Amino acid sequence: MESPLSKVEELRPCSQGYNLLLKVLSAKPVAIQPSRDRQRQQPQMRIAECIVGDDTGVVVFTARNDQVDLMKVGAIVELKNAKVDMYKGSMRLAVDRSGTVKPVESPASELKVKEDNNLSLIEFERITMVM
């Protein structure tokens, strides 16, 4: 059975299992990292930070390798089993090997984005509780 689609406003720090339909607002390559495994001769890792959103808000999505090619401005993408990582106290959406990123054939104008609600601009602080 297909899981229902989540909305950007529902994302929470350090959580996972989100299925989202999002519009790409921007995509900026940020790094090409050498492979950590020198034995396998794997290609370098490509990373791009993308602003993606829906009608409830926007968030930074960290695209890796083949995902970078799908993140074209104006494109609609479907993320399956996405997770929220924390980077310097702010949320970053990501999809690892357990999930998928795929383009959706849909007119971009159909998905309105609420750009004034950027969840990645909210700074979270880790609090250690002693019981």
Residue 41, pLDDT above cutoff 80: no
Residue 66, pLDDT above cutoff 80: yes
CA quadruple 39, 43, 45, 48: dihedral, nearest 10: 180
Give the mean pLDDT of 50-70.
96
pTM over 0.85: no
Q: Which tens digit of pLDDT belongs to each residue from 14-36? A: 999 999 999 999 999 987 766 55
pLDDT confidence bin for 63, thresholds 50/70/90: very high
Selection from 77, 76, 56, 80 nearest residue 2 by Cα: 80
